[in-house]
Amino acid sequence: MADFPALNGQSVSYAVLQYLAGSANPPHTDTPAAELLLLTYCIIEVGFVDTTNKLFTQRLQADSIFVLPKSLVHCQFIWAENDSRIVVVCGSRVTSDIMLIDGLIKKGGVMVGQYHG
C-alpha cells in the first residue's frame, strides 16, 4: 500500500507484468476477482473459457483494454518479437493464481511481476 495508498480499503489491486517475447502465461484462474488488462506495450493474445466451455480470444495491441470475467480459466500469449508490458487491475484486494496445467506451457517468460494491493 505504500506505493499507491489510494487503494487502501478499496477492494482493488493492481500488478505490472512484463513478459518476454514469445512467452506465455499458462491457463489459470484468479479467484475471487475479475481482471481488467491494459496493454501498454507490444502485442499479446488473451483468451478465456466461459462456463459453457467456449473459448474466446482476442489479439491486443498497445493501449487496448480487455476484461477477464471472475473465476474463469484464462491465459495470455506474447506473439510479438519484442517484450510486452501489461497493467492488471483486479476487483479484489487479494488474488491468487491457480495454475491448471503447471508445466505444460513454458512459464519462464515473466520477467517482472509487481503486486500492489
pLDDT tens-digit readout, 37-61: 899 888 889 998 888 888 899 999 9
HSE, side-chain direction, 13 A CA sphere, residue 110: 13
Three cell numbers written together for 5: 495508498
Reported pTM = 0.68
Is 92 exposed, middle or buried (CB count within 10 Å of its CB: 0-12, 13-18, 19+)?
middle
pLDDT digits (tens, 9 = 90+) for 55-74: 899 999 999 999 988 888 88
109, 77, 74, 70 alpha-carbon torsion, rounded to 10°: 90
> For residue 109, how many other CB atoms are within 10 A of its CB?
21
Q: Give me the mean pLDDT over the 18-31 stretch.
A: 82
> For residue 23, how many other CB atoms are within 10 A of its CB?
19
Q: Is residue 2 very low, low, confident or very high in pLDDT (cuts 50, 70, 90)? A: low
Closest alpha carbon to 72 in 51, 46, 91? 51
User: What is the spatial distance between Cα 99 and Cα 102, in angstroms, rounded to a whole number?
Assistant: 6
Please report the domains of the chain, with CATH numbers, ordered by start residue.
5-116 (2.60.120.10)
